Amino acid sequence: MKEEQSKPAPEYLLGSPEQQSWMKKYFFSPRGLGFLEPGIVGLDDAKMSAYNVAKSSYQIRPDVFNMNYLSKTVGLGKEEIIQRMQRMYEQRTIVFVMNPAVSVYGWGLYYWMVKLNENTPPEAKAELSEWFQNKDDICTGYECQGDFDFYNGNHMRVIDNLLYDVLEPWKNRPEVKYVHLCPIRRDLRESHVNQFDCPGDGYREVLWGPGQIEKLAQVQDKLDLTDLKIIQALNAKRPMEDFFDFKVLAEVSGLDEKAMLDGIKELVEVKRIIVPLFHLNFMKLDLTNRMFVIRLFQNIPCCRKAEISDELSAIKEFNTVKEFSDSFYDIILWAYNEITDIPALRAKLNSYSEIEEIKEADMTRMYRRWVCRLDDQNGYWEECVFTDDFLQDRTQPGGPECTIRKGAK
Amino acid sequence: MKIDAPRKYVIDNLKHFLNPSSIAVVGASRYPAKVGYKVIQGLKDWGYRGEIYPVNPRADKVHGLTAYKTITDIPGPVDLVFVAVPAHLVKMTLEHAVAKKAKIVVIATSAFKEIGRGDLQDRLTQYCRDNKLPLFGPNLVGMGSPYLNFNCGFIPYLPIKGPVAMISQSGANLLAALGNSTTMHFGMSFFVGLGNKADVDFSELIEYGNTDPHTKSLAIYIEGLDSPTAFVKACTSVVPNKPIVVIKVGGSEIGVKAAFAHTASENEGTSDAFYDQLFEQCGVIRATTFQEFLDISLALGLQPELKGDCVAMITNGGGSGLLSCDHFERLGQPMQELSSISPDLGLRIRTYMPMFGSPLNPVDISGTASPVHYKGALRQAMRDPNVDMVYCSICPTAVTDVPGVVDVAIEMYEAYKPLGKPFVMECQGGAECLEAIIRLRDHGIPAYATPEQAVNAIVALRKYSKIKEKFSKKK
């Protein structure tokens, strides 16, 4: 990894030709700002059928994915790939999910960091952890050890609902030192897959650092190199024709092959509002993620902040890269401890003179992967619980609220 | 999809419909707010004693029961498959159900013909027919029977035991009836939501109702008839034994579209007159409002048919009597004066009323009537061979002993039941009347809160007598 010097902010003034040129390079996706953007479809829309059929059936029909493509890419017979995928699913090491471009759906994507006081009893942390695990509005969340103790996220339309319903119940407990909101401004990469806001033409590219895959095959005993190559191939950027097997999708569902292809192609490739991908459940592999949360000096211009996010996203070892706005903190980056040169990454980050502070913590438990529960230990593996606070006012006692709550197994 | 007549293999398999020895719940969920959770919860809570097999490839256990990836992974036989997965998984589920040799499949899932996927619905239906697997639904709420402690679906109530089989295309209206059953003691023998009724048709359930020993009347809520010929055949064969009440909705200009969007019911090209004629042809009684639908099906389930027009009304309120006789006339069955029914009856009843009472018909035994007065008047009317039925009304005043009158009514009803005359009651007023209605219904007496409801019920009892006579002759 080659260290880079910090750069001056791009030279432009609002309204100048340079700004226009900047805009061409840094075109931000439309933001829903509480309402749907035109062209958005519901997650159960017919255009989502290919994804929905695959999501509902891949557990018993892995061949909903394009085995011709996978076989050719990985160099294995289809049957072996199917068997390996079934084993990986049974091991709970992989789960098929999707990322919707939440902002164009009108949600804010609010992450928040929680730090507990020193000497907080472990049982107090465990109690909070269970609450976060079972709070359905927390669509993605993590328990951590290090400079902070939790890092959780909600997609919500109303900030008040977040404050009153999700944070209020516990944030004034004596063991809580601070809660910092980290609203997402740009989602550049998740689960090794570039997202809607990544720079250039990198959308849906899959990134692993050099040698990471090989190292991963060595540091755990559940997945071998072939398995990992299958996972890489499953996520590889390719046309939807090669992603799913539409004949199998039609066979499973009775729906029209062409309509399913056209629908998902439009959403993933043209509108770019859905990214289907396989999430690697690192918990089952005894891996931990190192999270770097970066605060820039407050006199850094916004345009430079975006540039820094982009530069850091070029580092393939980071499996997740997001940029915050309206927050104490500005960027978050993750990399697996066990297969990454963490000191080198830290040194790289420290080479940026724009960075004022870096907080670090290791993620030891992941509650959900975007509404999909991962807590196999509680019997809720892949229970998908979608919440939406549309039309809800959770500041009022007795008002309407999400009816989906923790219940019996 | 259309059928020409009730199919034997369907009727044969219907015995597994309400009394399956094992049920696979496909889409069984671990989350309480999801349908797939409620189905198993309902089965357990209401006392189902057969095997329950949750099917969910993501879960190891659901409701503490071992979960299976597919129906074909279930070790034992499966009688009934309840499907609560998204529409796009139904095809695969049906294939598994056929492979497992299931006897019945019930599909709660929506998003078929009602949203324009008629072709998919038809293909799945044809697949089931090719494999002789009766399919209920899709787009239904569930079914059950209080006699079998069976509540299968996402239904919050099990009705009280009673005589009415409720067959409904609408889940919401079925639930309304079930709710009414628990609060107003509208007793049911079994209930079923049919939804889009892609395969199993009204006609087959009508035939099933005919064989069910607990069913005394059938109440059918219809949004559209795909197979009128089969409907006519089934009704024609059943009405000599059991009365059938229907309510047909979706006849208004905008209702045609609403019925399609709701349960994919096609009413284009039909009219209310068409249905009137069809129902007349097959001997079913048509109700206009949902309340009337409930009221008359209860009366027909609880009481024998009314064989003549001589109805004697005993009341302590002249007002309820007037509302009643006007409504009788509106419905084409005017009341007759007591003297024309039985010349001496008025005189005999006079003994049980003050001098300001009226021995006409309605017989007004006055607002001061006690249980003793009611008992005497009721006994006289019931025993009179010229009286075809007795209709009794309670209008509580400050001196009315409502529970006492109810006791007397029950006693008289039980005493003269062997005479085979219908007995209907009306009790209009406050909370004591609600309690009275419930108690009377618990004793098999159809009781109502308004005179018009009671009169509707009586007129239906008379209509059924004529229908029975006509269709028994045909048979």
Whether B70 sits inside 8 A of A60 (CB atoms) is yes
Once rounded to an integer, what is the mean pLDDT over residues B230-244? 96
d(CA B56, CA B53): 10
Residue recorded with tokens 């570039």: A194
Chain A closest-CA separation from residue B247 CA (Å): 34
CA distances from B177 to B156, B183, B204, B220 (A): 12, 10, 21, 12
**Centroid of chain to Cα A93:** 16
pLDDT value of position A29: 62
Q: Determine the residue type at A13.
A: L
Mutate to test the interface with A, among B40, B45, B58 (most CBs of A within 10 A): B58
Query: Considering only alpha carbons, which residue of chain B is nearest residue A95?
Result: B58
Q: Which tens digits make up the pLDDT trace of A267-305?
A: 999 999 999 999 999 999 999 999 999 999 999 998 899
The CA distance from B205 to B143, in Å, is 12
Residue A233: pLDDT band (50, 70, 90) is: very high
Note whether B34 contacts A: Cβ–Cβ < 8 A.
Answer: yes
What are the DSSP calls for B10-38, one per residue? HHHHTHHHHS-SEEEEET--SSTTSHHHH
Point out which residues pair with A156 in neighbouring strands: A108
Is the model's pLDDT at B266 over the cut of 80? no
Closest CA to A149 of A134, A169, A129: A129
Which residues in A lie closer than 8 A to residue B34 (C-beta atoms)?
404
Could you give the dihedral angle defined by the CA atoms of residues A128, A131, A137 and A140, in that order, rounded to the nearest 10 degrees? 60
B270 falls in which pLDDT band (50, 70, 90)?
confident
CB B104 within 8 A of CB B12: no
* Closest to B228 measured CA to CA, from B178, B288, B276: B276
Alpha carbon of residue B431 to chain centroid: 25
CA distance B44 to B55: 16
A49 touches chain B (CB under 8 A): yes
The predicted pLDDT at position A406 comes to: 40
CA distance to partner chain A, nearest, from residue B125 (Å):
12
Residues of B in contact with A86 (CB under 8 A): none
Chain segment B394-451, per-residue pLDDT in tens: 999 999 999 999 999 999 999 999 999 999 999 999 999 999 999 999 999 999 999 9
Residue located via tokens 């529960």: A373
Task: Write down the pLDDT at residue B443.
Answer: 98
Angle at B172 between CA B207 and CA B216, to 5 degrees: 30
Residues of B in contact with A59 (CB under 8 A): 57-58, 69
Which distant-in-sequence residues (6+ apart) come within 8 Å of B140 by Cβ? B106, B107, B108, B153, B171, B192, B193, B194, B195, B196
The pLDDT, as a whole number, for residue A402 is: 47
pLDDT number for residue A401: 52
**Quick one: pLDDT at residue A399?**
59
Rounded Cα–Cα distance for residues A201 and A209 (Å)? 19
Pairwise CA distance, residues B198 & B136, whole Å = 7
Find the residue in A nearest to B62 (Cα).
A409
pLDDT band at B116 (very low <50, low <70, confident <90, very high): confident
Nearest-Cα residue of chain B relative to residue A404: B33
Q: For an interface test with A, which of B26, B29, B31 has the most A Cβ atoms less than 10 Å from its Cβ? A: B31
Tokens read off for A95: 């789960």
- With contact defined as beta carbons under 8 Å apart, do B335 and B320 qualify? no
Among B residues 45-84, those touching chain A with beta carbons less than 8 Å apart: 57-64, 69-70
Q: How far is CA B91 from CA A255, B100, B268, in A?
A: 9, 14, 29
* Cα gap B262→B352, rounded to integer Å: 55
CB-CB under 8 Å, A385 with B59: no
Please indicate whether, in this complex, the C-beta atoms of A408 and B34 are within 8 angstroms of each other.
no
Q: How far, in Å, CA of A97 to CA of A101, rounded? A: 13
Q: Does residue A44 belong to the interface with chain B, where contact is any CB pair within 8 Å?
A: yes
| pLDDT band per the 50, 70, 90 thresholds, residue A35 | confident
Please tell me which of the candidates B30, B88, B91 has its beta carbon nearest to residue A409. B30
Q: What is the mean pLDDT of chain B?
A: 94
The mean of the pLDDT values for chain A is 91
pLDDT digits (tens, 9 = 90+) for A95-116: 999 999 887 888 889 999 999 9
- Measured between alpha carbons, how far is B42 from B146 in angstroms, rounded to an integer? 12
Residue A379 is nearest to which of B57, B61, B69, comparing CB atoms? Answer: B61
Which of these ranges, A379-388, B257-266, B337-346, has the smallest mean pLDDT? B257-266
- What is the DSSP track for B364-418? E--TT--HHHHHHHHHHHHH-TT--EEEEEE---TT--HHHHHHHHHHHHHHHGG
For position A403, what pLDDT does the model report? 46
pLDDT of A155 > 80? The answer is yes
Q: What is the pLDDT of residues B353-390, one digit of tens each?
A: 887 878 889 999 999 999 999 999 999 999 999 999 99
How would you classify residue A204: left for phi > 0, otherwise alpha for psi between -120 and 50, otherwise beta? left
Query: Looking at the predicted structure, is the pLDDT value of residue B309 above 80?
Result: yes
In chain A, residues 52-71 whose CB comes closer than 8 Å to chain B = 52-53, 56-57, 59-61
CB contact under 8 A, A409 and B64: yes
CB contact under 8 A, B59 and A379: yes
The neighbouring-strand residues paired with B458 are none
Is the Cβ of B90 closer than 8 Å to some Cβ of chain A?
Answer: yes
pLDDT 10s digits, B456-474: 999 999 999 999 999 987 7
Q: Does the structure show a pLDDT above 50 at A41?
A: yes
Rounded to the nearest 10 degrees, what angle do helices B90-99 and A246-253 cross at? Answer: 60
Quickly state the pLDDT bin for A214 (edges 50, 70, 90): very high
Distances (CA, A) of B118 to A14, A250, A312, B110, B176: 56, 16, 52, 12, 28
- pTM as predicted: 0.90
Query: B145 and chain A: CB distance < 8 Å anywhere?
Result: no
Burial-class residue B431 by CB neighbours within 10 Å (0-12, 13-18, 19+): exposed
- CB pair distance less than 8 Å for A57 and B89: yes
In total, chain A counts a number of residues equal to 409
pLDDT at A30: 66
For residue A49, list chain B residues with Cβ-Cβ distance below 8 A: 88
Reduced to 3 states (helix: H, G, I; strand: E, B; else coil), residue B294 is: helix
Inter-chain touch B89–A56, beta carbons under 8 Å: yes
Higher pLDDT, A352 or A14: A352
Question: Residue B109: what pLDDT?
Answer: 92
Rounded distance between C-alpha atoms, residue B188 and residue B428, angstroms: 24
